[in-house]
Amino acid sequence: MINKWFTTMESNGVKIDTVVDKTDLVEGEILTGKVYVTAESDVEKIDCIILRVLKRIGDSTQIIGKSSVELVGSVHTKGSEFVPFEIIPDDRWACEETDEIIFQTVLVFLDGTEIEDEGVITYTFLEE
C-alpha cells in the first residue's frame, strides 16, 4: 500500500513542508521524498534542514539514518524551493513489535533556533 506522509512547520516567516513518498517500506526500498521551503523574505536565515530516522526502543532513542539539506542548488517551483532526499535503510532499521521508526524533520536557523516535527514510518524485512 502506498501511503504518503506530509508535515508542515512554520517559524520566523519560513514554512517547511516535508513529503515522504511512502511510509510503509519493505526491505530493498529507499525512503524518498521532498522538502519544500517557502520564506516570506529570504531563505538566508536558514542554516540547514536535518532529516533523521530514529528508532525508539522503550524510553531509548537512537539515530539510524540522517541527511542534511542545504538550500544551495535547490529547485524552485511556484514560489518555493524544494530539495529531494533519499535515505537508504540498513540492518539497524530492524524492529521488534514494540519499537517505532520515526522520521523527523528539523529546521535549524542561523541563530541556533530549531523547530522539529516527526511521524511514524514502518520498515519490514522480507522473510528468508
Is pLDDT of 3 > 90? no
> Residue 74: which residues within 8 A CB-CB, separation 6 or more?
37, 81, 82, 83
Dihedral (Cα; 19, 127, 58, 90), 10-degree rounding: -60
- Per-residue pLDDT averaged across 23-46, rounded? 84
Return the CATH fold of 5-124. Answer: Immunoglobulin-like (2.60.40)
In whole angstroms, give the CA distance from residue 98 to residue 101.
10
Provide the residue count of the chain: 128
Which of 85, 68, 77, 79 has its CA nearest to residue 32? 85
Tens of pLDDT, residues 101-117: 999 999 998 888 999 99
Give the confidence band of 50 by pLDDT, cuts at 50, 70, 90.
very high
Supply the pTM of this predicted model: 0.84
Tens of pLDDT, residues 56-94: 998 999 999 999 987 765 555 556 788 899 999 998 998
Residue 22: count other Cβ atoms within 10 Å of its Cβ. 18
